[in-house]
Structure 1
Amino acid sequence: MSTPREEGFYFPAEWHPHVATWITFPHNDHSWQGDKLAAMYPEYFALIRTISQGELVNIQVNDAALATFIQSQLPIYGIDPQQIRLHIRPTNDAWCRDHGPAFLVHQSSDSRLIVDWEYNAWGGKYPPFGDDNASPKAIAQTVGLRSVSPGIIMEGGSVDFNGAGTVLTSRSCLLNPNRNPHLSQAEIEQYLCDYYGVQQVLWVSDGIVGDDTDGHIDDTVRFVNSNTVIAMVEPQVDDENHAVLAQNLAELKEMRLLNGEPLNIIELPMPDPVVIDDFRAPGSYANFYICNAGVIVPTFDCPQDAFALATLTQLFPDRPVIGLSAKQIIWGQGSFHCLTQQEPQANACV
Structure 2
Amino acid sequence: MTGCTFPTEWAKQAAVLMALPHAATDWADDLKGALRPFVRIASTIARDQPLLLVCDDAEAAKMLFCDTRNITFIELPTDDTWARDFGPITLCCDGGRRFLDFTFNGWGGKFPSAKDNAITAELVRLGYLWGACETVDFVLEGGSIETDGRGTLLTTSRCLLNPNRNPGMTKEQIETLLKEKLCVERILWLDHGELEGDDTDAHIDTLARFVNEETIVYVACDDPTDSHYEELGKMQRQLERFRTPEGDPYRLVPLPMPSAIVKEGRRLPATYANFLITNHSVLLPVYNDPKDAEARAIMTELFPDREVVPIDCTRLIEQGGSLHCVTMQIPACR
Q: Give the TM-score of the pair, scaled to structure 1.
A: 0.92
- The reply to whether residue 112 of structure 1 matches residue 97 of structure 2 is yes
Q: Which amino acid is the alignment partner of residue 44 of structure 1?
A: F
What is the aligned counterpart of 2:19 among 14, 20, 24? 24
CA distance in 2 between partners of 1:93 and 1:238 (Å): 35
CA distance in 2 between partners of 1:303 and 1:58 (Å): 33
What is the aligned counterpart of 1:61 among 48, 55, 66? 55
Contact 1:289 1:337 in 2 (8 A): yes
Partner of 1:271: 258
Partner of 1:168: 154
Q: CA deviation at 1:279?
A: 2.3
Partner of 1:122: 107
CA distance in 1 between partners of 2:308 and 2:201 (Å): 28
Matches within 5 A, 1:183-332: 183-205=169-191, 206-332=193-319
Contact 2:22 2:28 in 1 (8 A): no
What is the aligned counterpart of 1:13 among 8, 24, 29? 8
- The reply to whether residue 138 of structure 1 matches residue 122 of structure 2 is yes
Contact 1:53 1:293 in 2 (8 A): no
Q: Which amino acid is the alignment partner of residue 116 of structure 2?
A: D
Q: Percent same amino acid at aligned positions?
A: 34
Q: Which amino acid is the alignment partner of residue 135 of structure 1?
A: I
Moved >6 Å (runs of 4+): none
Q: Which amino acid is the alignment partner of residue 318 of structure 2?
A: W
User: How many residues are paired up?
Assistant: 331
Contact 2:97 2:130 in 1 (8 A): no
- The reply to whether residue 346 of structure 1 matches residue 333 of structure 2 is yes
Contact 1:299 1:325 in 2 (8 A): yes
CA distance in 2 between partners of 1:211 and 1:10 (Å): 30
CA distance in 2 between partners of 1:221 and 1:28 (Å): 33
Q: CA deviation at 1:335?
A: 0.8
Deviations 1:67-86 (A, max 9, x none): 222111112xxxx2121101
CA distance in 2 between partners of 1:91 and 1:29 (Å): 9
CA distance in 2 between partners of 1:296 and 1:55 (Å): 13
CA distance in 2 between partners of 1:172 and 1:151 (Å): 20
Q: Secondary structure at the match of 1:82?
A: coil
Partner of 2:137: 151
Q: 1:28 to 1:281 in 2, by over 3 A?
A: farther
Q: Which amino acid is the alignment partner of residue 113 of structure 1?
A: R
Q: Secondary structure at the match of 1:117?
A: strand
Deviates more, 1:165-174 or 1:269-278: 269-278
Contact 2:46 2:69 in 1 (8 A): no
CA distance in 2 between partners of 1:246 and 1:8 (Å): 39
What is the aligned counterpart of 1:178 among 164, 189, 196? 164
Unaligned runs of 5+ in 2: none
Q: Give the TM-score of the pair, scaled to structure 2.
A: 0.96
Q: CA deviation at 1:30?
A: 4.1
Contact 1:26 1:93 in 2 (8 A): yes
Q: Which amino acid is the alignment partner of residue 110 of structure 2?
A: K
What is the aligned counterpart of 1:73 among 41, 46, 64? 64
Q: Secondary structure at the match of 2:29?
A: coil
CA distance in 2 between partners of 1:90 and 1:44 (Å): 17
Q: Which amino acid is the alignment partner of residue 68 of structure 1?
A: E
Q: Secondary structure at the match of 2:240?
A: helix
Q: CA deviation at 1:19?
A: 0.7
Deviations 1:74-119 (A, max 9, x none): 12xxxx212110111211110000001111112xx32111001011
Q: Secondary structure at the match of 2:180?
A: helix
